[in-house]
Structure 1
Amino acid sequence: MSAESTQEPGIPGDADSTGRGRRAKGRRRRPQGKRRKALLIMAWTAAGIVLLGGTGVGYLYIKLNGNLHSIDIDHALGTDRPAKVDNGSENILVLGSDSRSGTNKKLGGGADDGSARSDTAMVIHVYKGHKKASVVSIPRDTLIDRPACTDAGGTTHDAATDVMFNSAYSTGGATCAVKTVESLSGVRMDHYLEVDFSGFQKLIDELGGVDVTTTRSIKDPDSHLDLTPGTHTLDGEQALGLVRTRHGVGDGSDLGRIQLQQAFVKALVKQVKDVGVLTSPKKLYDLADTATKTVTTDSGLGSVNSLASFAEGLKSISPQHMSMVTMPVQYDPSDPNRVIVEQTKSTQVWTALKNDQQIPKSATEGTATGKADGVVSAP
């Protein structure tokens, strides 16, 4: 529901209308065009703005609760997983899917075939006390060994070697993505959140845009993006273009794009904290309605009350207390369009999170970066 839509019954009035060293064996990247590019960190925002569910307004609760879609990942994966760590921390896998069906077809490009891939993946580690967080981005082009997994429909998928990380989601959906991340990291994922193209764009528009500062021009016709150096308020289309672009800045790699995404996440979190949506009940409802229609969760977050409680635990985390890194990788010597895990340094990252400790700076020094650092920041 948008701000221009007819007001739903019972909605308060609104006074304000406003790897392992394996090589890629000569594989080459296929042209991508406009598809397979999205974000996902909108799940963070989706959780943050659904707090309306705790107000006790019966109609709104039922309406928003009915919007949510959840997957019983714990049941599908069974007991063959890393052990839960009972130290007060939480690990959340956040995925941005590039479904090319329905309204996402225009945004993602390609045929309306109902297929989807995980375009962006971030592991969010919320430290004990829920005052700070570390975010680890996993490059989708990372060559990995994908474990055997069972999807949400009960179908088992065989293991595969030397495949791209994002093949896990396209093969077996959310459950296989979680299984792959846990196999890669040795860290148990406590929750799962997923957001698609169209929902991301709508949420940015309903937030009134997101302010970012660029230090150089970013121009990418494929992403419909043309920004001069300076401060901009990005609408949904521009924000989607920014987090999709590969060729607007840096070396055109997925690693450079990840840097832009991480900078945008910080700007987005700042915007959500500053927007004051609680002062406008109808604006809050519109945001919550879009968010709950957009997000897919694990069953543990599959109700408005659960999602609201989860969001309550995140709201004290400011951008200044968010550490953002990319899983340590190196370019594949046989194919610069692929990366392989830098095993020693990656182990440092995952061990730190498992022990609820800060990621040491040494873990990311000397790894592939993509050369887009410092291009975008919150004003």
Structure 2
Amino acid sequence: MPTDAPTETRRGRRTRVLKITGLSLAGLLVLGAGAAGWAYWQLNDNITSVDINSALGDDRPARAVAAPSPDASAPPPPTESLNILVLGSDSRSGEENQALGGGDSGGARSDTAMVVHLDAGRTAATVVSIPRDTLVDRPSCPLPDGGSTRPVSGAMFNSAYEVGGPVCAVKTVESLTDVRMDHYIEIDFAGFARLVDALGGVTVTTDEDIDDDRSHLTLEAGTHHLDGTDALALARTRYAIGDGSDLGRIGLQHQLVKALLEQIADQDLLTSPTELYEVADAVTGSLTTDTGLDSFGELMSLGQSLRGLSSDGVTTLTMPVLPAPWDRNRVVADEPDAGELWASLR
């Protein structure tokens, strides 16, 4: 019986097409996995970390514990509360930081300091700013070379970072608050500006005109959509608002925190890998963390735990302070109010 040659030819052709298609799909999957692996490695490699736990040892405030459930049969809270020290540094390293106001290459200070308290359910957060002009008793801090800084009474709070880096910043905050800092996150000028740009800018409303020749920002009172450079300038504006103190600047920074949370929520970055990578790549190169948050996976895990947190669930406060009796340009903690605030975060 004669063979149906055209039919066999078509079958052979289909088989070859299926093989080629299968190989192509396999190749795309391999390339996609390779690209994802490269992106993950790249983001991890961007992050600088400091082993704060090893440096400070056990002589620290106790870690927070989960509050017991009122119903013994109910499941425990999803996690313990967390306290994170977030610093914005005026790093002078790199041309980008210098162009944005970091100055020369002589060092860095903690330009902004916030203790971020996340509740056990991750549905509420309290952000407490510590004015950089606060006078504190700065403890002795370990240095990488095995030495230590000397303790100083009545030191400027932001000098801790300058003399001892992240380790001394954390130790000074813990000494001031008696609250354990579970994590540490630091971002410099360039990283903050790139973050805002990667998010497409940020919308804020100012109650008064701003014309600050030091931060190089001029804005009329009203609502503005700012790019990264102007958002950074707003975060640094001090002398053109209120009484020119650091407290007025902190108010602007709190506005920016809430506006950025709203911008992130609107974009829903956790469901858009491309946008998430762009934002993560923009910021991780300027990020320093403790070793518990020094991978993209750990940062993502923290971010995913905050999916239920909206800007309405964030309370922004400033540590209660009053003018220092011996220096009206500086402030000291206003007790007992300051102590009661910190006790509420333990």
Q: State the TM bucket, normalised to the shorter chain.
A: 0.7 to 0.9
Q: Which residue of 2 aligns with 1:60?
A: 39
Q: Which has the higher contact order (CA 8 A, sep 6+)?
A: 1
Q: Is the 8 A contact 1:117 1:169 kept in 2?
A: yes
Tell me by how many angstroms 1:304 deviates.
1.3
**Larger CA deviation: 162-171 vs 307-316:** 307-316
CA contact (8 A) 2:102 2:189 kept: no
Corresponding residue for residue 99 of structure 2 = 106
**1:275, distance to aligned residue in structure 2 (A):** 2.4
SS in 2 for 1:61: helix
Q: Any idea what the Cα deviations from partners look like across 1:290-310, whole Å, max 9, x if unmatched?
A: 221121100011111111111
SS at match of 1:79: coil
> Which of 215, 220, 223 in structure 1 is aligned with 2:212?
220
User: TM-score w.r.t. structure 2 length?
Assistant: 0.83
Correspondence 1:330 to 2:322: yes
Residue-by-residue CA offset, 1:100-125 (whole Å, 9 max, x unaligned): 12121122243223x00001100000
* Aligned-residue identity in percent: 53
Q: CA deviation at 1:11?
A: 7.6
Cα distance in 2 for partners of 1:290, 1:111 equals: 23
Query: Which residue does the alignment assign to 1:134?
Result: 126
**Structure 1 residue aligned with 2:63:** 84
**1:291 and 1:184, CA in 2 relative to 1: closer, same or farther beyond 3 A?**
same
Would the aligned equivalents of 1:100 and 1:112 in 2 still touch at CA under 8 Å? Answer: yes
Q: Measure, in 2, the Cα distance between the counterparts of 1:154 and 1:188.
A: 23
- The 3-state SS of whatever aligns with 1:57 is helix
Structure 1 or 2: larger helix share?
2
- 1:64-213 correspondence runs (5 A): 64-87=43-66, 88-102=80-94, 103-113=96-106, 115-213=107-205
CA positional deviation for 1:253: 0.3
CA distance in 2, matches of 1:327, 1:213: 24
What TM-score comes out, normalization by structure 1 length?
Answer: 0.76
Greater displacement, 170-179 / 327-336 = 327-336
Q: Could you tell me how far apart the structure 2 residues matched to 1:136 and 1:11 are?
A: 42
Return the alpha-carbon distance in structure 2 between the equivalents of residues 275 and 217 of structure 1: 30
Equivalent residue number for residue 287 of structure 1: 279
Deviates more, 1:305-314 or 1:237-246: 305-314
Displacement of 1:276: 3.9
Give unpaired runs (5+ residues) of structure 1. 1-8, 13-54, 355-379
Paired residue type of 2:36? V
Figure out how many residues of one structure are paired with residues of the other and give that number: 303
User: How far off its partner does 1:353 sit?
Assistant: 0.8
In structure 2, C-alpha distance between the alignment counterparts of 1:94 and 1:151, rounded to whole Å = 21
Structure 2 counterpart of 1:321: 313
Aligned 8 A contact 2:86 2:184 in 1? yes
- For the Cα contact (< 8 Å) 1:76–1:154, is it kept in 2? no
Q: CA-to-partner distance for each residue in 1:65-120, whole Å, 9 max, x for gaps?
A: 1111111000000111011122110000000111112121122243223x000011
- Is the 2:200–2:227 Cα contact (8 Å) retained in structure 1? yes
Moved more, 227-236 or 283-292: 283-292
CA distance in 2, matches of 1:276, 1:309: 15
- Tell me the amino acid that sits aligned with residue 46 of structure 2: N
- Give the drift of 1:221: 2.0
Distance 1:284 1:299 in 2: 22
| Separation (CA, whole Å) in 1 of partners of 2:149 and 2:325 | 29
Mapped contact 1:10–1:60 kept (Cα < 8 A): no
CA contact (8 A) 2:87 2:110 kept: yes
Pick closer, same or farther for the CA change 1:11–1:162 going to 2, 3 Å. Answer: farther
Q: Which moved more, 1:155-164 or 1:90-99?
A: 155-164
Q: Do the aligned residues in 2 keep the contact of 1:96 with 1:194 (CA within 8 Å)?
A: yes
Q: Which residue of 2 aligns with 1:305?
A: 297
1:300 alignment partner, SS class: helix
Amino acid at match of 1:104: N
- 3-state DSSP class of the match of 2:284? helix
Residue matched to 2:13: none
The secondary structure found in structure 1 opposite 2:344 is helix
Q: Which amino acid aligns with 1:122?
A: M
One-letter code of the match for 2:39? L
Q: Distance in 2 between matches of 1:269 and 1:235?
A: 16
1:229 & 1:143 partners in 2: Cα distance?
Answer: 33
Root mean square deviation of aligned Cα: 1.9
Q: Does structure 1 retain, via aligned residues, the 8 Å contact 2:90–2:102?
A: no
CA distance in structure 2 between the aligned counterparts of 1:297 and 1:324, rounded to whole angstroms: 22
Distance 1:135 1:346 in 2: 14
1:73, 1:152 within 8 Å by CA — same for their partners in 2?
no
The CA distance in 1 between the partners of 2:271 and 2:308, in whole Å, is 19
CA contact (8 A) 2:196 2:228 kept: yes
Question: For the structure 1 residues 73 and 199, does the alpha-carbon distance in structure 2 shift closer, same or farther, using more than 3 Å as the test?
Answer: same
2:255 corresponds, among 251, 260, 263, to 263
Say which SS state the counterpart of residue 135 (structure 2) adopts: strand
CA shift for structure 1 position 155: 2.9
